[in-house]
Chain A
């Protein structure tokens, strides 16, 4: 069975600070990797995804994530955060060979950006 760990429950940053949110997964097979974001009062939205190819993936709003297979990690990064990035961020994985994109989610990391 797959599992996803997000080690930071709540991260507080000042505007313009750099961001890195950790995500590690455990699964022996080939995975697809996702980051979803939930802004206050809104529903989950896809931020970026990795299926194959270049392990450095760029998403919306200046976010990027790097898949490091040897470390089973898919950390999310942004060089300079803005107040509008305040949200909850969820890492998720699916089994790329299963035919179903059923997602296994981490517990989420809440990001608070202070103006």
Chain B
């Protein structure tokens, strides 16, 4: 299991519910990114973690979105009070921080009904 993994692969939730998405980066990768891809759109940056530094949250679309990462391991992206416009594929990527090569996970497809 050398790649980035994400869970769940698919999530259907009702409007107004909270959801939590998980990302397991490649071991040893200090940088972790969350992106989302809405239908017909390119990927949008959400948040970036680098080691123990304060995360770059500049891409989060609203205060309903938050993310955490413990050290250089697992990250969770939480969306509170989900809205239909949150429906998208949420992608996680990790990199060693020196090469700039981002390795992407398979994504979580979130559908808000």
Contacts and interface: CB of A to CB of B under 8 A. Distances in A.
Binding partners A and B? yes
A36 B102 CA distance: 10
A45 B104 contact: yes
Contacts of A105: 35, 42-44
Chain B: number of interface residues, binned into ranges: 20 to 34
Interface string A76-107: 00000000000000101010000111111111
A46 B105 contact: no
B101 A102 contact: no
B20 interface: no
A104 B45 contact: yes
A107 B42 contact: yes
Interface residues of A, number: 24
B17 to A, nearest CB: 26
Interface SS, A side = loop
A100 B40 contact: no
Q: Give the residue among B31, B42, B45, B93 with the most A Cβ atoms within 10 A.
A: B42
22 contacts: A4-B42, A36-B104, A42-B106, A43-B91, A43-B107, A44-B104, A46-B103, A49-B100, A92-B43, A100-B48, A101-B95, A101-B97, A102-B33, A102-B48, A103-B43, A103-B45, A103-B102, A104-B45, A105-B35, A105-B43, A106-B42, A107-B41
Interface of B: 31, 33, 35, 40-45, 48, 50, 56, 59, 91, 93, 95, 97, 100-107
